[in-house]
Amino acid sequence: MNQNNPLDSTSTAGEYNPNAWRERFIVPVLRTASVLGVGMFAIAFSITPVSSRIFVSILLIALFAITFLPVSYNLRAYALLFLCFMLGLNGVLLFGVWVDATVFFLCFIALSSLLFDNNFNISALIFNIVILIGLASLFSLGVLSPTDPHTPRSSLARWALFILDFTVCGIIVVIAANSLKREFARAAQQAQSSYQALSAERAQLEDTVRDRTNALKNRSVQLQSSTNIARTLAEIQNVPDLLKLAVDAVTEEFNYYHAGVYLLNAQKQVAFLQAASSQIGADLIGAGHRIGAGVRNPINIVLETRRPYATTDLDKARFIPDVNFPTTRSRVVIPLIVRGEIIGALDLQSNKLESTNEEDIDIFETVADLLAISIDNVRLIGETQTLVEQLRFYNSDQAQEAWAKITSRRSPAYQYTPAGVRPVFGQSKKDESPIGLLQIPLILQGQKIGNIHLRRKGYTTNWSDKERNLVEKIAEQISLALENSRLVEEAQQNAQRDQLIANISSRVRETLDVEAVIRTATTELRRVFDLKEAEISVGLPQAEPKPTRKHTSALKLR
């Protein structure tokens, strides 16, 4: 029991209980009465008769007993009221209607109001009035008389006035005590109601905070999972491996028993299952599972609306059972969209009843976007690699063809001899002995365009790996230098050709006469190419005779 809160009667129910409050209230009252009673007895000891001293001593001993001995509440309460009543009765027997009898009787009524229910204090008031009326009768008839010889005898009118005053004071005390108890109980009930409301609000707030904390934890875990998936997908450069790794990662991170990826064909009409994390999905892939247009299926709904689809088997209107996955109770399908174009869908299925909120949808959309971007990036990387490879082969063929033409016209070879460097115009006789010989090919874009032959002089015949690597690097630089020279030469030739064409065009356009144009063109061609003869003929070829008029113009220069 909580000693600090008198409104809290029990530790479990939390409801107001006046009995618990009274049990705590009576203890300090008894202790105070014990201390003050001893003091008052000591002060009045000298003027109190011997019989009264013995009586009051007995009452004080009883007061100490109920105060400090472990007795029940009812025994303490009844004993305290009895002591008050006996002290008041002793005062009446000693002094009649004078002095302190009224105080003890009123204290008896007030304590009965506080220590018991409402009806008890009324009964205590009536009991006191009856006792006083009986005492008044006995004193008036002379049966009883005050023990103190100095106390005068009271008349019946005096007793009647005393009883009337006591009755009025007692009624006031009872009404005040009952009103105080009702207000106290009402305030206690209001305070208890407020306390219970605050407790309920606090419990609700704690539940809200707990739910929010759990939601934040789940979202943090989901974000971390999406980060892990993104990090994993970024390392894959192959579409089949990428899809398989994606569905496995989604199944592991989000606890779905099946995850599948559907990709649209080029015509955007059929969605093929390309990857799955479950064995059922793997079997469907092997059977070429596809979903065609027009079929009422969550995949088609997502592909048509380009919006996520989430439902459970409790939603009979939206849930579409899948015969391939009969144990599915929750399903989420997210579109795969990249650069504004939908390329497929991510299908997540669970055999548990799991509600999906907007935050979960956002996480799944993020994962789907990452997957779509990864798929598109891998495709672009593959296409780029294919183009680079094709370009490399094209450049290699072009280089091989260009160098084949160059070597067909001339044989650019040079040989170092003791007499110096000299060109090699034909197949010279070479020392075929392999002793001290090092041959390194000249490689350009994967094609061999020549060779380097090196032979040591003297008896040193071995070439170290370091020397071979050095010669290979030199060969690479020679190949690049040769190719650059060829490209410069080709560019110069193209420039000369363009300049020649521009000059001839400029000369030809100087006149508008047909004969003059032909004459100028013929002259320029003969001059530029240093020809022996040049001829330009203008006219339509004759396939068969026509009635139309024919005009032919020809100019020949020698």
For residue range 138-163, what is the model confidence (pLDDT) as tens digits? 877 777 776 666 666 667 777 888 88
The last residue of a domain, from among 183, 201, 219: 201
Residues 207-229 pLDDT 10s: 888 888 877 777 676 666 667 66
Contact assessment for residue 85 and residue 108, using Cβ atoms and an 8 Å cutoff: yes
- By C-alpha distance, which of 503, 497, 440, 442 is closest to 469? 440
Share of the chain above pLDDT 90, in %: 2
- The CA distances from residue 227 to 231, 301, 364, in Å, are 6, 28, 12
Do residues 159 and 252 share a domain? no
Name residue 453's beta-bridge partners. 439
For the segment 490-519, the average pLDDT, to the nearest whole number, is 76
Task: Report yes or no on 66 lying in a domain.
Answer: yes
460 within some domain: no
DSSP per position, 436-463: TEEEEEEEETTEEEEEEEEE--TT----
What mean pLDDT value characterizes the chain?
77
Identity of residue 363: I
Task: Looking at the structure, tell me whether residues 173 and 249 fall in a common domain.
Answer: no
CA 250 to chain centroid = 16
Residue (of 71, 67, 105) closest to 89 by Cα position:
105
Tell me the CA distances in angstroms from 193 to 1, 14, 16, 547, one per residue in order: 19, 10, 9, 122
Structure-token pair, residue 360: 């979960």
- Which residue is associated with the tokens 């229910």? 117
What is the C-alpha end-to-end distance of the chain, expressed in Å?
A: 135
196 and 258 in a single domain? The answer is no
Strands 341-350 and 414-417 turn out to be unpaired
Question: In this predicted model, what pLDDT tens digit does every residue of 373-398 receive, in sequence order?
Answer: 888 888 888 788 888 777 777 777 77
Tally of domains in the chain: 2
- Pair 441, 475: CB distance under 8 Å: yes
* More confidently predicted of 546 and 26: 26
Same domain, 137 and 252: no
Answer with the residue of higher pLDDT: 336 or 424.
336
Q: Say if residue 281 is in the same domain as residue 194.
A: no
Q: Decide which of 170, 201, 232 is a domain's last residue.
A: 201
Do 22 and 90 fall into the same domain?
Answer: yes
Residues 184 and 306 in one domain: no
Q: Is 224 within a domain?
A: no
Question: What is the token pair recorded at 207?
Answer: 């539940």
503 inside domain: no
| Single-letter code of the amino acid located at 293 | A
Q: Would the pLDDT of 78 be above 80?
A: yes
pLDDT category of residue 335 using cuts at 50, 70 and 90: very high
pLDDT-derived band at 252, boundaries 50, 70, 90? confident
pLDDT at res. 210: 86
In this structure, is residue 470 part of a structural domain?
no
What is the residue whose two structure tokens read 């704690």?
206
In tens, the pLDDT along 433-469 reads: 566 677 788 777 777 777 777 777 665 667 888 888 8
| Residue 399 to residue 67: CA distance in whole angstroms | 119
| pTM to 2 decimal places | 0.46
Residues 168, 37, single domain; the answer is yes
User: What's phi and psi for 163, nearest 5 deg?
Assistant: -65, -40
Angle separating helix axes 358-409 and 465-508, nearest 10 degrees: 80
Q: Is residue 256 part of a domain?
A: yes
Domain that holds residue 289: 240-383
What's the Cα-to-Cα distance from 210 to each of 196, 218, 337, 364, rounded to whole Å? 20, 12, 36, 24
Give strand ranges (E) for 160-289: 258-264, 270-276
Q: Indicate if 249 and 372 belong to the same structural domain.
A: yes
Of 383, 400, 416, the residue at which a domain comes to its end is 383
Per-residue pLDDT, averaged over 421-432, amounts to: 56
* Whole-angstrom distance, CA of residue 546 vs CA of residue 558: 33
20 pLDDT above the threshold of 70: yes
Phi–psi pair at 445, nearest 5 degrees: 50, 45
Question: What pLDDT, on a 0 to 100 scale, did the predictor assign at position 558?
Answer: 55
Among 40-49, 162-171, 497-506, 545-554, which stretch is predicted with the lowest mean pLDDT? 545-554
- Among candidates 297, 359, 283, 358, which has minimal Cα distance to 333? 297
pLDDT of residue 407: 66
Phi, psi of 550 (to 5 degrees): -115, 135
Asked if 83 and 137 touch (Cβ cutoff 8 Å), the reply is no
The one-letter amino acid code at 245 reads L
Flag whether 534 is in a domain: no
152: left (phi over 0), alpha (psi -120 to 50) or beta: beta
Token pair, residue 220, equals 């943090």
Between CA 139 and CA 89 the distance in angstroms is 13
Q: How confident is the model at residue 420 (pLDDT cuts 50, 70, 90)?
A: low
170 and 34 within one domain: yes
pLDDT exceeds 50 at position 184: yes
Residues 291 and 345 both lie in one domain:
yes
Section 499-508 average pLDDT: 76
Is 558 within a domain? no
Residue 442, token pair as written in the block: 């000249």
Is the domain of 196 the same as that of 69? yes
Structure tokens belonging to residue 189: 């009930």
The CATH number of residue 375's host domain is: 3.30.450.40
